[in-house]
Structures are given as C-alpha cells and as structure tokens.
Chain A
Amino acid sequence: MTRFAPFILRNLGRNKLRTFLTGAAIALAIALVCLLRTMPAGLDSFLNGLAANTRISIHNQAGLVYPLPYSYLQKVRSVPGVVEAVSWTWFGGAFEPEKGVSFPNFAVDPEPLGRVYEDHRIDPAALDQFRRYRDGALVGRATLRAQGWKVGDLVTLQGTLYPVTLSFRIVGEIPRDQDPRFWFQREYLAQALLARGTSFDQLGMIWARVDDPDRVEGVMREIEALFRNSEAETACETEKSFFGNMFGSLRGFVTVILLVTAMVALCIVFIAANTASMAVRERVGEIAVLKAIGFRRRLVFGTLLAEATLLATVAGAAGALGSLGLTLLLRYQVSGWSPQLGPLGAFVVTNAILVEVLFLAFFIGIVSGWLPALGAARRSVTATLREVY
C-alpha cells in the first residue's frame, strides 16, 4: 500500500479547502475530547493533592452552613486516637468588596494548626509568627500569586458574614502551589466582634488528625456517637471524601460532559463520512477507470479508506498535540483559582490520553470512510462508465 501513498496524498490535496475544513473539524473535536478526558483524572489528582489520609472533618450533620458549639473542639481533642484538632470558621472576607469573596478565608486556632497540618510543611518560623501576632495571616501560594501579595504585606478584608473589617499582616505562606486558603487567628475575629458587643462561641467545622490511618473509621464513629442526641449532632468524613463531596456536582458535570463528548465524536464521524461520500461521489468516474485498468476492489477500497483514515489521524494528532500544548501552558501559567473550576494546572493530557484519542481519530477515519469506500469498490465499472460518460 505504501507505493500508493503519493496517489492517496494527491487525492487528499484535490480539494484543499474541503480537506482543511474537515481536518479542522476533526482536530477541534479531538482536542475537545482530549481536554475533557483530563477532567476525571485531574479532579482525582486535585483531591489527592488536597487530602491527607489521617485528617477528618467534623461538621454539623445538618450541613456545612450550620455552626457547632466551640466547646466541641475540646471534646474532639479528648477522643482517643485524635492527635490534634483545630477549628475553622468561614469569615467570608472580601479584599475588593465590589468583586465579592475571591478566595476562601477562615478564622482558625493558631496553636494546634501546625500539628493538624504537619503534611503541609509550613515553615516553623512562619507558624511561630502566626501564633505570636494576633493579626497574622498564613496565605496559600495560589492566592499570593493571584493577588500579587508577598510575606510582610498588609491586607484588609471586609467581612461579608460578620460586620467587621480586619487588617492583617501576612506572616507566611501555605507552601502548596494550588492552595488558595487564607488563615488568620480566631481570637482576632472574636475580639473584633466582642468590641461590637457580639460574643463568638461557635465554630464552622473542626479538622482533626488521627494517629493511624487504620483508626480513622473508628475515630469518626466515636466522634459521631459522642455528639448523638446533642443540640448539634455531627457528621464526620475523611478529608478526601469532604473535598470529593464539595466537588461532587463537578463530577456529575464531568459525566455529562463526557457524554456530550461522545456525541461530538459521533457527529464528527457523520461529518467526516459525508465528506468522504462527497469525495467518492465526485470521483466515481475516475474510480471506474482505475478498476478498468486493473485496480482490484480491495485496492480501491483500501486507498479510499486510507485517505479518510489518514486525514482523520493527522487531524486528530494535531488536535491532541494542540490540547497537550494548551494544558502544559495552563500548568505553568495559571495563577488564578476558582472553586467552581478547580486548579486548571491539575488537568494534564497524559500519554495514555494521547494514545486513546489517536485511536479515536483513527477509528473515526475508518468508520467514516468505510461505507463510501465499500460502495465505490462494489460499484460496477460498466454501469458507472455508462452513467457518468
């Protein structure tokens, strides 16, 4: 078949605009499939990066928006197996109020923070500063990048849930590239609220570290039992499960998108098949002549199928490489973070995805070229010559 390659290439170049448009449609579809295929793995990678297997969250069973009494923190600390626990309370502070809350910010307990988040490898000097200064803040790298802040900067957040505006000095970073969190001392918020005559004796949720991954399930059951039939019953879950649920709607969205992607691929098969049919129809006389001079049916079928497959595969490769380039660019350039989209840097076109979409493009070529090529190969030479000439 290789000796027919120049002939196949010439035929592809016969109608350059049509070949380009068909190739572009296939390339775009494959790029889309490629990008969407990165979503499930990207989401998993994102969750794995976020979560530790010994950290659990304890929140109100009624939902995340319902608070828990602050006294629960001490009770959780006393459960056997719990190494340390820290409270988190959503502040909802806006740096630029007209833009709303652009990064997640929480009031936390400074003392236990380092032990609960040992795996974050926060600089001990920064943790020390965080404990020492009541207005200190630890900020994730994603937010530092997005806002253009650095350690030592002074920033002010206007509360959207609490009627206070707080100024902070950034005393350190949370050294994780995609981390957007902004932590500050719970006491700082409590004092500000007290100054306005409001007490602050609740917390949003508790994060606890368990001493052994094998004990996590037992500790969670014990904590839930501890607060059963109390004024605020609790629900516990692992950190991965917590973030998984948080992004649960995104997973459903991914499923829908993958279904849409499959339909896009199917549409492209039809478009490519239509193009192949047109290409064959306008060459029906030439094909009859080829058969007259001795081209066998299988050879006619093979050259036409090769034409459709070559176009689809080359276009697919271009689309796949384009999407790979785009994700690599995003990986290095992305500086923002949006909880709705997740960190784009985690979405990478892997070698496995590349191979998968190249096979898909090849398959699109085969399927789209099959029927037109078969029809042309089976057509009677004499009948065709009579019809055409």
Chain B
Amino acid sequence: MIQLSDVSRVYQRGADQVHALEHVSLEIPAGRFAALMGPSGSGKSTLLNILAGLDRPTSGQVVVAGQRLSDLGEDALAAFRARHVGFVFQFFNLIPVLSARENLELPLLLTRLGKAERRARAETALRVVGLEGRADHFPGQLSGGEQQRVAIARAVVSDPEIVVGDEPTGDLDAKNAEGVLELLRTLRREFGKTVVIVTHDVRAEKYVDEVHHLDKGVLIDPQAVRAAEAARR
C-alpha cells in the first residue's frame, strides 16, 4: 500500500520557489499497476521520486509498505529502497562494465546472500524476462528492448513489493514498448508486485489498473479528466 497525504514539494531555484507538487493525496493499494500521467513539468516524476523514497516532501506524509518515510534518515531510506523498491529508468541505466547477470547481482550485493544464491536469483530473474540466454552479454551487446528487460529484472531480483518506472517505455519503439508494459503487468499479475510508472505513453492505459493525472503539481479528478477528453472529442 502506498499512501500520500497532503504532500507538497517546493524547490528553490535561485531566488524563485517552484511548487512541483501541491497538496497531493493519493492511495495506491498493494498489487495494483498504476500510471502517473500528465504534461511535462506537471510533477509526476517528483511524485514518483517521493513515493519511491528518493526525494522528501516539503510537507505532508508518505507511507509506503507500512513505513512512514519521513521517519527515516538517509541511510535508512537507502536500506528501505534496497528492500522494498525496484527501479526502472527511461534510459535503462545498466552498468556498462558488468554483464547482464552481474548487473542483476548488484542489488543482491546489499543483501546477505552468498555468491551461489545471488547467481541463482539473477538467473531466475533473467528467465522471467526471457533473457536467460543473454546472461553473459554486456549492455552494449544488447538491444534497447533487451536492456530494458534486464533493467526490469534488476528491479525485481531482490523481490521488492514495489516496482517504480520513470518513463520505462520512453526510449523504446512501439513493439518493445508494448513488450515492456506487458512484462510490468505480468509482475503485477503473477508476482503480486505493486507497479507505479510515470509515462506519456497512452498505450499504457490498456495495461494499467489505474491512471492518476497531474497538472501543475496538482492531482486532477478522474471525472474532470474524462469530461475534458469527451469535450475534446
């Protein structure tokens, strides 16, 4: 369960204050696949960073996996992310000097698992994303779609409850984008993960359970969105 109550985030940019989020309250139940959508600068990535424990709100409460994030210090927050959250980025962000398997073993180095167990888990995760034959390939030897699959495998290899993705399909062609969305839905359906993505990709609406729209840092009422879309048509 992800709960945000009256969350605001204000950045200081020079002499100006930028209100990235204003009084956002949101609840995403466990085991749901949610998308945060909205125009550029609407605050969706800020919201994702806050619920993933990468950023802190200026005000408001964030509770994720039963943990109030404002109670956690920097190190505890890093430990929280390692244990509870898996990340998928737009540009895959794999470590280029490590093979696919070694990239997957990286988050497992933070656990107490032995070498054999780490390797076994990495291979299992690669099997889940259909890349068991590419374990020894380096990121530079993989296509964009394959790299994003490896990134998704890295996000789930330590078995977190939540997987977050910031524009996970943003750098992929249509076919690979559909494949990635399907894979994220599989994580929700077959492994019970809570998946939250930020996306501009309208195809995502077919795959997700719920969509939350933001505009200028404010969460928009779904009914208002639907009405606006109907009026546009």
Contact = CB atoms under 8 A, between A and B. Distances in A.
Interface of A: 3-4, 6-7, 10-11, 13-14, 285-286, 289-299, 381-382, 385, 389
Contacts of A11: 97
Contact of B95 (A286, A298, A385): A286
A144 to B, nearest CB: 59
Q: Which of B54, B75, B78 has the most CB of A within 10 A?
A: B78
A7 B82 CA distance: 18
A285 to B, nearest CB: 7
Contacts of A10: 97-98, 102
Nearest to A378: B74
Interface string B145-156: 000000000100
A30 B211 CA distance: 62
B60 interface: no
Nearest to B75: A296
A294 B93 contact: no
Given A11-B97, A297-B75, 11 more contacts: A4-B109, A7-B106, A285-B93, A292-B81, A292-B87, A293-B81, A294-B110, A295-B82, A381-B54, A382-B54, A382-B55
B106 A389 contact: no
A217 B88 CA distance: 85
A128 B52 CA distance: 97
A110 B134 CA distance: 88
B186 interface: no
Q: Is the interface of A mostly helix, strand, loop or mixed?
A: helix
B176 interface: no
26 contacts: A4-B109, A7-B98, A7-B109, A10-B102, A14-B96, A14-B97, A286-B93, A286-B95, A289-B87, A290-B106, A291-B78, A292-B52, A292-B81, A292-B87, A293-B86, A293-B87, A293-B106, A294-B83, A295-B82, A296-B75, A297-B75, A297-B78, A381-B54, A389-B89, A389-B91, A389-B93
A227 to B, nearest CB: 79
Interface of B: 49, 52, 54-55, 74-75, 78-79, 81-83, 86-87, 89-91, 93, 95-98, 102, 106-107, 109-110, 115, 154
Nearest to A285: B93
Contacts of B90: 389
A294 B97 contact: no
A297 B78 CA distance: 8
B97 A293 contact: no
A363 to B, nearest CB: 27
A350 B109 CA distance: 41
Contacts of B54: 292, 381-382
Contacts of A4: 109
Contacts of A297: 74-75, 78
A130 B98 CA distance: 77
Contacts of B154: 293
A382 B78 CA distance: 13
A13 B81 contact: no
B107 A293 contact: yes
A382 B95 contact: no
Contacts of B115: 3
B122 to A, nearest CB: 14
Given A3-B109, A382-B49, A296 B97 contact: no
Contact of B75 (A298, A382, A385): A298
Q: List 3 tightest A-B contacts by C-beta distance, closest first.
A: A294-B82, A10-B97, A296-B78
Contacts of A291: 78
A294 B79 contact: yes
A187 to B, nearest CB: 80
A205 B167 CA distance: 92
Contact of A296 (B79, B91, B95): B79
A289 B107 CA distance: 11
Contacts of A298: 75
Contacts of B86: 293
Contacts of B87: 289, 292-293
B81 to A, nearest CB: 5
B199 to A, nearest CB: 15
Query: Which residue of A3, A13, A298 has the most chain B CB atoms within 10 A of its CB atom?
Result: A3
A146 B194 CA distance: 84
